[in-house]
Amino acid sequence: MKRFRDKRTGILSFMDLKSHKGIAVYWLMFAILALMALICFLPPLWVIISSFKSPEELMKVPASLLPEKFDFNKVIDTWNKLGYLRYYWNTAVLAAGSVFFAVMVNGLAGYVLSCLKPKGSHLVLSLIIWTMLMPNTLSMVPLFKNMVDLPLIHISLINTFWPMWICAGAGAFNTLLFKNSFDSIPESLIEAAKLDGCSNLRIFTRIVLPLSIPIIMVVCIFTVNGAWGDFLLPYLVLTEPDKFTVMVHVFTAKTVMALDVQLLSLVFAIMPPIVLFFVFQRYIIAGATMGGVKE
Amino acid sequence: MNRKIAAALKRDLTSWILLGPAVVCFAVVLWQPLISGLTLSFFETKGYDAVRFVGFKNYESIVSNSEFAAALKNTFSYTSWSLVIGYFVPLITAIILNEMVHLKAFFKFACYFPTIIPSMATALLWYFMFNPGKNGVLNSLLGFAGLPASQWLQNQKLVIPLIVLTMTWRSFGGTMLIYLASLQSINQDIYEAASIDGAGFLAKIRNITLPHIAGTAGLMLIMQIIGVFQIFQEPMAMTGGGPNNASLSIMLSSYYYAFRYFDAGKSMAAGAIAFAILAILTIAYRLASARIGRGGGIA
């Protein structure tokens, strides 16, 4: 038990772990965590496995553990029949635009608030901080109204992805994340670029952004994941079925389709985020704690 | 001198141009809707447009409506259940996880895994788990244990705790990681000194761990209350507010007023009531944490 001897962190010290009682407490805690890991993994796994079952098999009492056969043709058939490529494509376009808005609009805002600080910008900063603290219970109808008839220019954004993109541009949390990150860029670097005649925008794209790759990665990953799972606004503004995103389709498919098709739809909806998580788990777990630094 | 002012103006002008897109986005999505929503709540509406100022009539009408009364009561019920079921899970998991010398990274991964599944998909996933038929997966498990099948979400008494359970399943991992970051910042010498003084496991938790993370715990408490109070998508997907309005929340009721009954004024009145309750709560928390002097949070 070398690991116990080397344990230098936490409440149980290597001293405690020499006694039987300490070791028992440790393995009890380990068992609790193992159980929690099971609870975290099993429900999605069950949906993935069950989606292979036939409608008759899904009706069986009690529910069978594994399907009679893993028929991948059925998966491909359902994919084609429901036209999932379309929904994946729509959601990908939505996500790509959201990433662009999150990085460019919020990134620029963070840059102005952190490095340029024009007169009066502190007012914008405190407004953004207040926005983040405010509950968001009053915006449903007015936001929808703004998207049907954009103020001042009076165009309708219904059945376009612009409403979600604009929302991505209004990310208070991302703006503050960028601002805090840019605060650590040495001022001398920016001054030097200015002396060389670099414009503000060029300083942003050539100096500030390249120096902030890790934070941009985190914002990108969380924006893609958020856009993939975004439901309410897409559901309200995308009314034509060929504009549906994956999540809107899954919700509207509920109750009107056979149970096995519903389950497969759900699997199609959750697979991309799961793959994203497996690939970028380091960034995602590191980024998750940035949520704790909300002020 | 003049040139200096001109240069400063030019500098500020380009800065403001770069800030412009963000200001426009915030205005369209958050600032204008907030004011416009509050205004609408005092108007009789047609479609989504204000027609006539009616004072507090929308408020009077929804407060005297039994459906909204149920929604208000349910929302408090959601919030209190979420504190009973969900508040201590991330805290305890973080304390336990911080002790692990085996599989620590795996457990972190596992606990955060549900969080990356979209909230709407999570709601539907558990909707399938809570299938009230005998062929449902949880009912089959109950069957193996020799217990009678449950109605799950169709049981008026169970529906709110079950929806809270779903939300806890999805979100505890994120909160847990925040606690974990806070736990890792505890100076290890303090634990060692306590061990030498003969403090046991529970004594160390009570006297060292808990005081250290109290600020984070307070912040998480208020964030959870604010979050759960606005619950809406989960009951919308899982029960539609039923059975018999037993899971209807304020925000779901606001959504139904707006997009099912097309009464924007009443919808916004419901939103304004939720807003007022949460604003009072937030301010009270700020005052309390300022008095205690922690400033609330680990920032």
What pLDDT digit, counting tens, does each position of B104-153 carry?
889 999 999 999 999 999 999 999 888 887 778 888 888 888 888 788 88
**CATH number of the structural domain A76-290:** 1.10.3720.10
Facing residue for A109 by CB, picked from B19, B116, B264: B19
pLDDT tens per residue, range A92-139:
999 999 999 999 999 999 999 998 888 888 899 999 988 888 888 888
Say whether B120 and A37 touch across the interface (CB within 8 A).
no
Q: DSSP per residue over B266-279, as a string?
A: HHHHHHHHHHHHHH
CB B75 within 8 A of CB B229: yes
Query: A2-16, A107-121, A219-233, A266-280 — which is least confidently predicted?
Result: A2-16
Specify the higher pLDDT residue, A235 or B201.
A235
Distance of CA A275 to the CA centre of its chain: 13
- Tokens 């990356």 belong to which residue? B116
Say whether A10 and B128 touch across the interface (CB within 8 A).
no
Query: A14-18, B22-26, B83-87 — which is least confidently predicted?
Result: A14-18
Average pLDDT of chain A is 87
User: Is A218 near chain B, with CB under 8 Å?
Assistant: no
pLDDT tens per residue, range B166-191:
999 999 999 999 999 889 888 888 88
What are the φ/ψ torsions at residue A54 (nearest 5 degrees)? -80, 160
Residue B296 has pLDDT above 80, yes or no: no
Q: Determine what percent of chain B is predicted with pLDDT higher than 90.
A: 46
Which amino acid is present at A115? C
ipTM of the complex: 0.88
Residue B299 has pLDDT above 50, yes or no: no
Average pLDDT over residues B227-239: 92
- Tokens 């069957």 belong to which residue? B143
Average pLDDT over residues A12-33: 85
CB A228 within 8 A of CB A164: no
Question: Which residues on adjacent β-strands are paired with residue B52?
Answer: B44
Q: What is the pLDDT of residue B292?
A: 65
Between 3.90.1150.10, 3.50.7.10, 1.10.3720.10, 3.40.50.2000, what CATH number should domain B56-292 receive?
1.10.3720.10
Stated pTM of the model: 0.89
**Judging by beta carbons within 10 Å of its beta carbon (0-12, 13-18, 19+), is residue B129 exposed, middle or buried?**
buried
Q: What is the pLDDT of residue B277?
A: 93
Which amino acid is present at B249? S
Average pLDDT over residues A136-158: 88
Task: Write a three-state SS string for chain A.
Answer: CHHHHCCCCCCCCCCHHHCHHHHHHHHHHHHHHHHHHHHHHHHHHHHHHHCCCCHHHHCCCCCCCCCCCCCHHHHHHHHHHHCHHHHHHHHHHHHHHHHHHHHHHHHHHHHHHHHHCCCCHHHHHHHHHHHHHCCCCCCHHHHHHHHHCCCCCCCCCCCCCHHHHHHHHCCHHHHHHHHHHHHCCCHHHHHHHHHCCCCHHHHHHHHHCHHHHHHHHHHHHHHHHHHHHCCHHHHHHCCCHHHCCHHHHHHHHCCCCCHHHHHHHHHHHHHHHHHHHHHHHHHHHHHHHHCCCCC
pLDDT tens per residue, range A59-69:
777 777 788 77
Facing residue for A288 by CB, picked from B30, B48, B112: B112
- Output DSSP code: residue B205: I
Show me where the domains of chain B are located: 1-40, 56-292
Say whether A134 and B34 touch across the interface (CB within 8 A).
yes
Residue A291 has pLDDT above 70, yes or no: no
Facing residue for A273 by CB, picked from B116, B223, B274: B116
CB A182 within 8 A of CB A114: yes
Confidence class for position B298, pLDDT limits 50, 70, 90: very low
Q: DSSP per residue over B29-45, as a string?
A: IIIHHHHHHHHHTTEEE
Say whether A204 and B40 touch across the interface (CB within 8 A).
no
**In sequence order, which residues have a C-beta less than 8 Å from that of residue A50 and are 6 or more positions away?**
A58, A63, A67, A263, B128, B137
Q: What is the pLDDT of residue B88?
A: 94
Say whether B111 and A135 touch across the interface (CB within 8 A).
no
